[in-house]
Amino acid sequence: MTARKKSPGKSKSDEVLIPDKLYFRIGEVAELCRLPAYVLRFWESEFPQLKPVKSSTGQRMYRRRDVENVLHIKRLLYEQGFTIAGARQQLRSEAKNEKGQTAIPFPTQSASEIQHIRQGLREILNLLSTRKTG
């Protein structure tokens, strides 16, 4: 029997196909992520990124983003060897980087450009109002 080598590019958690649903129960997430439900409940207390909403009956309802976070946390802990505290810090720094990269400044207009736009709008308004009365 020959031992199969793991390919370095893809890991098992990368291969998870998340169904196109709005909410997932904890049992579904546990099955998808191949983790016991108690681990998910523990991670909720350790990682602020995991905040499933609770239904009226108190059942945890995970959104797609929560499931993606669970898979990411699993990768950090089980494959990359982070401690809980290290994974928490890594997630925090990733979130900071994302915020910095996605912030696109709103284009600013100079006062003269705004004045020009206003004048154009007034002219259109005048055309429309003379059409109605005329």
CATH number reported for the structural domain that contains residue 23 in this entry: 1.10.1660.10
Domain ranges, residue 31: 12-87
Written as six digits, the tokens of 71 are 């898979």
Q: State if pTM tops 0.75.
A: no
Residue 3 lies in a domain: no
Residue 34 lies in a domain: yes
Residue 20 lies inside a defined structural domain of this protein: yes
In this structure, is residue 79 part of a structural domain?
A: yes
Give the pair of three-digit tokens for residue 96.
């900071």
Q: Would 32 be classed as within a structural domain?
A: yes
| Whole-angstrom distance, CA of residue 86 vs CA of residue 65 | 21
Q: Is residue 68 part of a domain?
A: yes
Residue 121 pLDDT greater than 70, yes or no = yes
Domain count, the chain: 1
Q: How confident is the model at residue 112 (pLDDT cuts 50, 70, 90)?
A: confident
Distance, CA of 64 to CA of 112 (rounded, Å):
46
Whether residue 81 lies inside any domain: the answer is yes
pLDDT of 13 > 50? The answer is no
In a domain, 120, yes or no: no
Q: Residue range 56-80: average pLDDT?
A: 94
What pLDDT is stored for residue 130 in this prediction? Answer: 81
The pLDDT score that the predictor gives to residue 2 is 44
pLDDT of 10 = 47
Answer yes or no: are the C-beta atoms of 33 and 16 closer than 8 Å.
Answer: yes
